[in-house]
Amino acid sequence: MGDQGAREQGSVDVAFHGVRGSTPCSCPTVQRYGGHTSCVSIEAPGHDPIVFDLGTGLRPWGCSMTPGEPVTVHALVTHLHWDHIQGLPFFIPLQSVHTNLHVYGPADGDQTMAQTFAKFMSPPYFPIEVTDLPARVEFHDAHHDDFDIDGTVVVLVDDVLFTGRTIRAALDAMTSFGRPRAIRLAVMIDRGHRELPIRPDYVGKNLPTSRAEVVDVHDDGVDLGELLK
């Protein structure tokens, strides 16, 4: 990637290029977090980049890459709503034969992911088809049975831990994917008032509150890499 050589060995960069749902927009109310739709990238030196969802935030991320540089990107698509895939045609690295893009996500009924993307990236909806792109794009249908967490260490992450009911729901859902060796819980804020015997392993901040109070978590732009030095 463009600035990959400047990253410290062992560091991981997580960037939110789009956090909106439904439709991208440009107005004063979205200046803090931006108006692009869903797209989050994870990059680490020596590893292929991973991107979660292909919303319009994919375009500025692609523009930040070095043109023509060989790259293999792995994209995980949570679901096939328009706001999660509409950025794909505008991903600049797809204009290079040195780009390999692997897209993993759910099939749509009796249609494969490749068929679904081919439908929206074709006339009259879009002038260029996936097969017209210089890059190599491969679609991989991910099924429920493809994920096995037997013997692994699973880390659950929550922004604000309150009653514990959301964590209980995550634990219940996890049982259908196998039996992990261990489960860890990391939370940004623990505000107490637990209704279930759930205790986090990693806590950013313990914040005593009343049950009637509301906790809002905001990103103030702090560079976590600098903070941890």
Chain segment 174-215, per-residue pLDDT in tens: 888 889 999 999 998 999 999 999 999 999 999 989 988 888
Rounded to an integer, what distance in angstroms lies between the CA atom of residue 40 and that of residue 144?
22
Q: Residue 183 — left, alpha, or beta (φ > 0 → left; ψ -120 to 50 → alpha)?
A: beta
pLDDT < 50: residue spans in the chain: 1-6, 224-225, 227-229
